[in-house]
């Protein structure tokens, strides 16, 4: 009986640990890709792929109280990808890129020590894509 109770408590503890760990991530990446290369540090991220389908989430962190903006570049060979961002619990559209498109721009200014989520969502299978995001201090 003691062994049964111990195993039951250990199982419950493991389930709770995984449940709480899953709640920490606000957005979840779910995708299939080939030849995908990705990097992600606190202030810059990039992803390149041969083919991609699904949702990929990038997390950038403003570690100071400074005003920052995100400089971004993107190209896409085929397909359609919508890129959104979440800052202060509000998901907003950043840009949409379609077959043969490219973009090079900068976001509005963000203030505060916060996490900024960037969400890439495809409408189906996409190919030959490259995305880059850099968190930069705003010039005053």
* Three-class secondary structure of residue 53 per DSSP: strand
pLDDT greater than 60 at residue 21: no
User: Average pLDDT, stretch 56-64?
Assistant: 87
Output the pLDDT for position 11: 62
Nearest to 129 by CA among 54, 61, 30: 54
- Annotated domain spans of the chain: 27-137
Query: Which parts of the chain are beta strand (E)?
Result: 30-34, 37-40, 44-61, 67-78, 80-86, 91-98, 102-106, 110-111, 115-122, 126-137
| pLDDT tens digits, one per residue of 38-57 | 888 888 999 999 999 999 99
| pLDDT tens digits, one per residue of 63-72 | 777 788 889 9
User: Average pLDDT, stretch 61-87?
Assistant: 89
pLDDT greater than 60 at residue 18: no
Among 46-55, 74-83, 105-114, where is mean pLDDT lowest?
105-114
CATH class of 27-137: mainly beta
Residues 6+ apart with CB under 8 A from 39: 45, 46, 47
């Amino acid at each position: 009986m003691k062994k049964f109770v111990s195993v039951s408590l250990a199982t419950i503890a493991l389930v709770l640990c995984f449940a709480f760990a899953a709640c920490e991530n606000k957005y979840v990446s779910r995708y299939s890709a080939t030849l995908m290369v990705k990097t992600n540090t606190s202030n810059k991220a990039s992803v390149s792929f041969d083919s991609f389908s699904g949702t990929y989430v990038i997390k950038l962190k403003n570690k100071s109280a400074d005003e920052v903006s995100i400089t971004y570049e993107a190209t896409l060979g085929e397909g359609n990808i919508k890129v959104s961002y979440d800052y202060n619990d509000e998901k907003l559209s950043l840009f949409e890129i379609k077959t043969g498109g490219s973009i090079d721009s900068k976001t509005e200014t963000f203030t505060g020590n916060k996490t900024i989520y960037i969400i890439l969502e495809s409408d189906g299978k996409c190919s030959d894509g490259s995305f880059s995001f850099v968190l930069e201090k705003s010039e005053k």
